[in-house]
């Protein structure tokens, strides 16, 4: 099993590209954002507690998402690999993921990093708010906070993994299809 991380600030297109990559390369798409939104939609106790945190643009507690990912990895069969979307988001989550994979005889093989400037991110999220109605996209102050939280808590993971030689930066600006080709060209190398 090959383990890919797709990484980048909010609105960089992680979710958009992950769906396509998962389909093309038979990867299990693991989006912690989608898992959390599913809990909220189902009205679970966990969902109720997490929705207030997410609506402010803050990160949910590490242990919540680590537990979610572990339960998905175990029992997954028939895939060429895993694609982690929006996880890890803190160095603590990165360390937990490495440990979880090591215990199962795997490692993180590749970190795809979508690079998109701030103005483009805000533009995309404002547009998405109109279409999807996601509460965390509606308020510009919340979007700013999510970008800040990314810079402060998530971006340090890049240097942590750069030292491990798995860092693969990708230009995330342009047509969705073109970005998909840039990513696919890297992914295919790990699967052959
Ligand atoms: P996520 O669900 O991960 O969402 P995101 O970072 O906002 O978006 P993404 O980068 O996937 O962008 P997308 O493809 O949709 O997180 C939401 C919240 O969940 C977090 O703020 C946090 O509270 C919580 N959370 C999730 N995981 C967590 C974790 N591990 N730990 C703690 N908390 C966690 O693209 C955005 C928009 O741009 C779309 O409308 C898309 O159509 C558009 N777009 C994409 N590519 C484009 C392109 N090339 N050109 C133009 N538009 C494009």
Of 192, 191, 7, nearest to 97 by C-alpha is 7
Which residue ranges have their beta carbon within 6 Å of ligand 1? 8, 10-16, 32-33, 36, 54, 57, 59-60, 65, 86-87, 89, 93, 124, 128, 136, 146, 174, 176, 179
Closest ligand 1 atom number to CA of residue 125 = 37
What per-residue confidence (pLDDT) applies to 133? 81
First to last CA, the chain: 12
What per-residue confidence (pLDDT) applies to 135? 83
Are 157 and 94 within 8 A, CB to CB? yes
What per-residue confidence (pLDDT) applies to 118? 95
State the pTM of this model: 0.93
Q: What is the full per-residue pLDDT of the chain (192 aa) written as tens digits?
A: 999 999 999 999 999 999 999 999 999 999 999 999 999 999 999 999 999 999 999 999 999 999 999 989 988 889 999 999 999 999 999 999 999 999 999 999 999 999 999 999 999 999 998 888 888 898 999 999 999 999 999 999 999 898 888 999 999 999 999 999 999 999 999 997
- Does residue 67 sit in helix, strand or coil? helix
Ligand 1 midpoint to CA 163 (Å): 26
What per-residue confidence (pLDDT) applies to 134? 83
β-pairing, 167-171 vs 110-115, is parallel
Are 156 and 88 within 8 A, CB to CB? no
Are 14 and 92 within 8 A, CB to CB? no
Distance (Å, whole) CA 141 – CA 133: 16
What is the C-alpha radius of gyration for the chain, rounded to an integer number of angstroms? 16
Domains, the chain, in order of start with CATH, read 2-191 (3.40.50.300)
What per-residue confidence (pLDDT) applies to 31? 97
Q: Which residue has the tokens 């990160």?
A: 59
Tell the residue nearest (CA) to atom 17 of ligand 1.
33
Ligand 1 midpoint to CA 128 (Å): 10
What per-residue confidence (pLDDT) applies to 75? 82
What per-residue confidence (pLDDT) applies to 82? 98
């Amino acid at each position: 099993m090959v383990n890919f991380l797709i990484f980048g600030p909010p609105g960089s297109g992680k979710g958009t590209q992950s769906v396509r990559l998962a389909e093309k390369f038979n990867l299990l798409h693991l989006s912690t954002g989608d898992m959390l939104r599913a809990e909220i939609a189902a009205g679970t106790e966990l969902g109720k507690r997490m929705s207030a945190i997410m609506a402010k643009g803050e990160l949910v507690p590490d242990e919540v998402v680590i537990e979610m990912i572990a339960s998905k990895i175990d029992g997954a069969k028939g895939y060429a690999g895993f694609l982690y979307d929006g996880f890890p988001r803190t160095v603590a989550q990165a360390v937990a993921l490495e440990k979880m994979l090591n215990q199962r005889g795997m490692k993180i093989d590749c970190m795809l990093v979508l690079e998109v400037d701030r103005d483009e991110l805000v533009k995309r999220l404002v547009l998405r708010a109109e279409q999807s109605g996601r509460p965390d996209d509606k308020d510009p102050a919340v979007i700013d906070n999510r970008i800040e939280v990314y810079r402060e808590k998530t971006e340090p993971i890049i240097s942590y993994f750069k030292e491990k030689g798995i860092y693969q930066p990708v230009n995330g600006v342009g047509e969705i299809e073109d970005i998909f080709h840039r990513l696919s060209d890297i992914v295919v190398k790990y699967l052959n």
